[in-house]
Amino acid sequence: KAGNASQPSSETVPTTPVVDTTAPEVVVNPVNPGDTVVDGTSEPDSTIKVTTPDGTTVTTVTKPDGTWTVTVPPVKAGDVITVVAIDDAGNTSEPVKVVVTGDNTGNNPGGNTGGNTQGGTKGNTPSTDNNGTVKVVDNTKGSKGTKDVKGHNIGKTELPDTGEKDNSGLAAGALLLGGLTLLAGRKRKQEDVQTDEK
């Protein structure tokens, strides 16, 4: 306003414009079976091309913060999705291939192992009776009956000190033999009495 003038300033326009020759990088987030959205990050204002497993290409543009998202048909395990990014200068990134990993059914592909779990290895299943005694049911092929935690068959008594099996069968036989002998003696006595009366 006082009329003072600055020194002149000049700027020379370069004869060869600066050209961007750097290809953008593209990052793709993990994709799981059943997903219908593929997303990731790249250079802002870049064009993102996503090729689905059936060969269809879906295109979008990255946001100012570099994020991008596209909608695709539901994918399954083993599908391959290819993504490339193209910046404003036309530079194209290296293709990024993402393999959809996981189990389509949600089951453990290796199966379960242990006790009575279906698909696993049959083993010994522990159980507890009303008296608090722990029993083990042997599920292995060819085995029969129920065993306790020491592997002994339930129902076969073993002596705690010697470990020998109870001779209950012999005792029962001896008892039966004694009963028969007693009956025979009574019958003989009755016959003697009848003889004396005659």
The pLDDT averaged over each successive group of 10 residues in the chain (198 residues) is: 94 83 94 96 96 95 96 95 95 95 53 38 49 49 49 50 53 64 65 55
The conformation of residue 91, written as its DSSP 8-state character, comes to -
Residues 89 and 141 placed together within one structural domain of the fold = no
Residues 80 and 134 placed together within one structural domain of the fold = no
84: helix, strand or coil: strand
- The DSSP line for 114-145 is SSS-TTS---EEEEE-TTS-EEEEE-STT--S
In the prediction, which pLDDT does 111 show? Answer: 35
- Residue 172 belongs to a domain: no
Q: Tens of pLDDT along 110-153?
A: 333 333 334 444 445 454 455 554 444 455 444 445 455 455 55
Residues 94 and 30 placed together within one structural domain of the fold = yes
Residues 46 and 85 placed together within one structural domain of the fold = yes
Domain that holds residue 128: 124-155
* pTM confidence score: 0.46
Residues 49 and 93 placed together within one structural domain of the fold = yes
